[in-house]
């Protein structure tokens, strides 16, 4: 088997003899009290998957303009099934909105974008996905190494079989596609049955998504995003072009001075980010406020957050009819 990343060891199809896995075993034994023999045996079952390395190198956002990207999520089928999901779980969603302050339509939209309301939650073994990316994907090895550790800790603490759980090619799990660190930090037992099950239990999944947003600072009742206009001489440098530009640091008034003017009435002193999305002919412009930034904490992408928000608004409109 050819190694996509030849600087790292690629001794075989599993990670039982991988040097980075050996380092992790040492750390988990010393820091978390794992049994060495059990970890070594587990890593011999962790399979390296080139399809995962291929998938993570080609995310949709890097290959599609906005007018194509949004069509993945903003379509009649996803709306129809979102309405069905809302009706089926109305009581749970309304309780989550009351307890966490997050609109039910935002919760439904996240689950709809992430897994088509639980229908497409990923078929990769999480152990394989995280091991492949931790040990054989240098660009983000530190992140996935930490997630693999979190995964092993959570499966041990929850009494789960780490070889049985499935998820996305990046190791995201369940209805809301939580990474292991997010599960450990934000998953809740919303039906009080003694277990936070985000894989099979939509009640726990709904509560967990709502809790994630609350813990990341969702502000009930505030404007999320406003359409805007942009002057012809507005510099491209003020528009979001990378994940490190998502956090609002400039005011609405400052953007207006640079030619980006909100179509909604906003507090001039509110912090915002400016976005420019490509259409088939031209561009559309937006100002994202604090709650928009909170949505990007789920996935560090302006187009992702806009898809979630616009789907949520379509769902809210149909549910209110």
Q: What phi and psi, each to the nearest 5 degrees, are found at residue 60?
A: -60, -35
Domain spans, the chain: 225-288
Count the Cβ atoms, other than its own, within 10 Å of residue 210. 30
Q: Tell whether the model's pLDDT for residue 11 goes beyond 50.
A: no
Q: Is 114 a catalytic residue?
A: yes
* Residue of 79, 97, 105, 114 with catalytic role: 114
Among 20, 24, 56, residue whose Cα is nearest residue 129: 56
**What is the Cα–Cα distance from 152 to 29, expressed in whole angstroms?**
12
Q: Compute, in degrees rounded to 10, the torsion defined by CA atoms 197, 201, 207, 211.
A: 40
| DSSP-derived 3-state class of residue 294 | helix
* Angle formed at CA 73 by CA 124 and CA 292, multiple of 5 degrees: 100
**If you average pLDDT over every residue of the chain, what do you get?**
94
State both tokens at 4.
Answer: 């996509």
What distance lies between CA 200 and its chain's CA centroid? Answer: 18
Contacts of 4 (CB under 8 A, 6+ apart): 50, 53, 136
Q: What pLDDT is recorded for position 6?
A: 36
CATH topology of domain 225-288: Lysozyme (1.10.530)
Quick one: average pLDDT of 2-16?
53
Quick one: average pLDDT of 35-45?
96
Render pLDDT for 71-92 as a digit per residue (tens, 0 to 9): 999 999 999 999 999 999 999 9
Q: Tell whether the model's pLDDT for residue 12 goes beyond 90.
A: no
Q: Average the pLDDT over each of 2-11, 143-152, 259-268 and give the range with the smallest value.
A: 2-11
End-to-end CA distance of the chain: 56
Q: What phi and psi, each to the nearest 5 degrees, are found at residue 229?
A: -110, 160
Cβ–Cβ under 8 Å, residues 259 and 231: yes
**What is the Cα–Cα distance from 316 to 88, expressed in whole angstroms?**
15
Render pLDDT for 159-218 as a digit per residue (tens, 0 to 9): 999 999 999 999 999 999 999 999 999 999 999 999 999 999 999 999 999 999 999 999
Render pLDDT for 163-175 as a digit per residue (tens, 0 to 9): 999 999 999 999 9
* Angle formed at CA 70 by CA 66 and CA 73, multiple of 5 degrees: 160
Strands 250-251 and 260-262: unpaired
Q: Tell whether the model's pLDDT for residue 95 goes beyond 80.
A: yes
179 in the Ramachandran plot: left (φ > 0), alpha (ψ -120 to 50) or beta? beta
């Amino acid at each position: 088997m050819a190694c996509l990343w030849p600087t790292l060891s690629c001794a075989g199809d599993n990670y039982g003899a991988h040097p980075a896995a050996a380092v992790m075993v040492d750390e988990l034994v010393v820091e978390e009290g794992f049994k060495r023999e059990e970890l070594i045996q587990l890593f011999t079952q962790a399979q390296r998957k080139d399809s995962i390395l291929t998938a993570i190198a080609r995310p949709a956002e890097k290959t599609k303009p906005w007018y194509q990207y949004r069509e993945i999520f903003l379509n009649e089928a996803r709306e129809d099934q979102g309405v069905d999901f809302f009706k089926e779980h109305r009581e749970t969603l309304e309780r989550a909105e009351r307890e966490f302050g997050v609109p039910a339509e935002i919760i439904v939209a996240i689950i709809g974008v992430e897994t088509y309301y639980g229908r497409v939650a990923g078929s990769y073994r999480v152990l394989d996905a995280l091991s492949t990316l931790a040990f054989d994907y240098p660009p983000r090895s530190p992140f996935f190494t930490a997630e693999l550790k979190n995964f092993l800790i959570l499966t041990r603490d929850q009494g789960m079989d780490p070889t049985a759980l499935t998820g996305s090619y990046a190791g995201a799990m369940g209805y809301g596609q939580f990474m292991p660190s997010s599960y450990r930090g934000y998953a809740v037992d919303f039906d009080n049955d003694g277990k936070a099950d985000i894989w099979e239990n939509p009640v726990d999944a709904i509560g967990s998504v709502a809790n994630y947003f609350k813990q990341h600072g969702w502000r009930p009742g505030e404007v999320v995003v406003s359409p805007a206009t942009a002057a012809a001489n507005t510099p491209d440098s003020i528009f979001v072009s990378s994940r490190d530009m998502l956090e609002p640091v400039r005011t609405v008034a400052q953007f207006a001075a640079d030619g980006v003017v909100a179509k909604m009435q906003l507090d001039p002193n509110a912090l915002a980010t400016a976005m420019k999305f490509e259409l088939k002919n031209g561009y559309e412009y937006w100002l994202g406020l604090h709650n928009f930034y909170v949505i990007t904490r789920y996935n560090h992408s302006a187009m992702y957050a806009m898809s979630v928000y616009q789907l949520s608004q379509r769902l809210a409109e149909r549910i209110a009819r």
